[in-house]
Structure 1
């Protein structure tokens, strides 16, 4: 009886990997484009984004629509940097919309500040024209643009660019990284108002306090085990696995937050991980040659390959749940510590992005817990 139960369990998991979804069950989508000023004075802004990307992702892990966790896609630009081509408005697309968050993190760490001429209007226009925005009415589309220079710099009218967002049913949230009393801030606020977004003022050089917890080492240990459940395949396999390791290292003291993001439905690596690729119907085991598979799977029969994938996926799900449980305990511990010390959350990039996302997603019909 136990043997039969194991067979049925393995069969069900295999079918969940190999079956095709219908269009009727397509998930809702969250598309978020982040546009960062990378001129000389913005090192603090870039650092805040690098360290708090995973907190932003974690804030969305309990968001649902129609009972399902939506798909998350993030795009990244930087602008206002003299190292970028002037004929392109000193604006550079680092990655179009992607569900692969390690790639977003990698691109964040590639930014070097320099210069420059901050053409916010040009950056917004580029995002609206170049990115593959969803056309589905129920999906959520948003731009976050952060900088500290006048909003009307450059040859592209900010109002013209923002109106493109309005026509595309895309919110624009503006984040001014300068004095709250500055007159320049008013146009940043006007840009958000025109696109029905929110406007914020932050200190880009604010240091984000890290609270150490008794759970950090456990999460780090389970995170290392989680990495071993990934099955690199194809041309991107080794690149993706190496990127995963590097971004673990880049997260530094924030590895616990990153680990929790990796334990969520948003952590998707279908371009290089076989389990995610099969879930996304990107490949089938039948079509992959042994050369495209890791050494451990070569020369296996098709049935053995299926069993191997099923076992790795089951192991991954157990580890992810363990990490989520530990991170919940960590969050409760950190909150108690902050209550004791009286330390309050500060207006940093992650806090204002999280604040606006929660408000705007709820207005769009997404459910928040």
Structure 2
């Protein structure tokens, strides 16, 4: 049975007896481990026939540097919270994220100064890469047009229980541009997409410039944030051990194909990008990497083996790592099986540690911190519950 964790524990588990030199209470550890194993046994580990789709439409004009920095520093916390979601009979939804930038003079004027940075994708490393490459510049911010563009370009599906969300963030009037935001909102309703608006500035100013109305038309959420406020990452006594397990987790990936080496390097690069915002943020990425959302079947043999269309007979062995060069099929299969077992064990360890880390952080968190993160999560949970999604926490 492929151990990929039940939501809350569905991502991150860790066997730990000491952190930063302090012994973890044995009773607490035993209870957490027993609870995690029970969740793994009881849960249906197959991906649910439901999807969460999130399109992030970010204003990249000059004044939005703080917004972009918040988005970079809070990506992994967002992914982690979504991973705890359950739908239907306690099954887990899949996650796809799309990214658009708008309001930047470097973008094509004929397209409304709008760019699709990445379409709906489950490739978390690629999403992180593209987010970290965003830069700001002056420009015209056309909210109605960027919403309409995302509605037309992305595949939003047609299943009733899918959760389709747009989050648009900016600080200029919502009424600018050639496409009325009211018309874009009507199109969103037809596609069962909810628009959530995040105004970077004073709450009443956002109301007066129609950001709230833009959300109300699709029964979405409106919030105003201070985009220049620095994200607060709370360290915990479990962080060092989680980061240690990340090194072991990375060693379970078996690159193959034309993308293998490049994507393996990209994995490491995004580890570094997360760490640039502090160890506590790097820990959140490790947790995301041990979740059911982090799948890399296009370049990792361990994940690829689970795809029913995968065949070792079609594998180009010349693209395999040097330790598998010259090996026959049975030897390669055995090697991959060993890596799978290692990964599942590490995922369990990370999940256990993460459960204790979250309990610790919850007690230290101060009200009002991390406004962008809270805006996203509160809106998602509110709208998800209307479609019978629930959260472990």
TM-score, length of structure 1 as denominator length: 0.89
**Residue 189 of structure 1, CA deviation:** 0.9
Residue 269 (structure 1) aligns with: 296
- Contact between 1:297 and 1:305, CA under 8 Å: does it hold in 2? yes
Higher helix share: 1
Find out whether 1:106 has 2:133 as its counterpart.
no
Find out whether 1:208 has 2:235 as its counterpart.
no
Question: What pairs up with 1:130-141 in 2 under 5 angstroms?
Answer: 130-141=153-164
Residue 95 (structure 2) aligns with: 72
- Contact between 1:270 and 1:282, CA under 8 Å: does it hold in 2? no
Residue 320 (structure 2) aligns with: 293
SS in 2 for 1:78: strand
Give the number of the structure with larger relative contact order, counting CA–CA contacts within 8 Å between residues 6 or more apart: 2
1:159-184 Cα shifts (integer Å, max 9, x gaps): 11121111100111111111112165
Residue 50 (structure 2) aligns with: 28
Unaligned runs of 5+ in 1: 1-11, 14-23
- Contact between 1:35 and 1:123, CA under 8 Å: does it hold in 2? yes
Find out whether 1:144 has 2:167 as its counterpart.
yes
Q: Which moved more, 1:240-249 or 1:208-217?
A: 208-217
Residue 32 (structure 2) aligns with: none
- Contact between 2:48 and 2:91, CA under 8 Å: does it hold in 1? no
362, 369, 373: which one pairs with 1:335? Answer: 362
Residue 37 (structure 2) aligns with: none
Residue 118 (structure 1) aligns with: 141
315, 329, 339: which one pairs with 1:312? Answer: 339
Question: What pairs up with 1:154-233 in 2 under 5 angstroms?
Answer: 154-182=177-205, 185-233=208-256
85, 89, 92: which one pairs with 1:63? Answer: 85
1:273-301 Cα shifts (integer Å, max 9, x gaps): 12222223353222112123222223222
**Residue 25 of structure 1, CA deviation:** 7.9
- Contact between 2:147 and 2:184, CA under 8 Å: does it hold in 1? yes
Structure-1 separation of matches of 2:199 and 2:142: 14
Residues 57 and 183 of structure 1: CA distance in aligned 2, closer, same or farther (over 3 Å): closer
Count the aligned residue pairs. 344
**Residue 249 of structure 1, CA deviation:** 0.4
64, 69, 75: which one pairs with 1:42? Answer: 64
- Contact between 1:142 and 1:173, CA under 8 Å: does it hold in 2? yes
Structure-2 separation of matches of 1:191 and 1:174: 7
Residues 355 and 141 of structure 1: CA distance in aligned 2, closer, same or farther (over 3 Å): same
- Contact between 1:172 and 1:191, CA under 8 Å: does it hold in 2? yes
- Contact between 2:232 and 2:369, CA under 8 Å: does it hold in 1? no
TM-score, length of structure 2 as denominator length: 0.84
Structure-2 separation of matches of 1:57 and 1:362: 18
**Residue 345 of structure 1, CA deviation:** 3.7
Structure-2 separation of matches of 1:60 and 1:183: 27
1:180-229 Cα shifts (integer Å, max 9, x gaps): 12165551111111112111111111112222222211111101110111
**Residue 326 of structure 1, CA deviation:** 1.3
Moved over 4 A (4+): 183-186
Structure-2 separation of matches of 1:178 and 1:82: 22
- Contact between 1:48 and 1:348, CA under 8 Å: does it hold in 2? no
Unaligned runs of 5+ in 2: 3-45
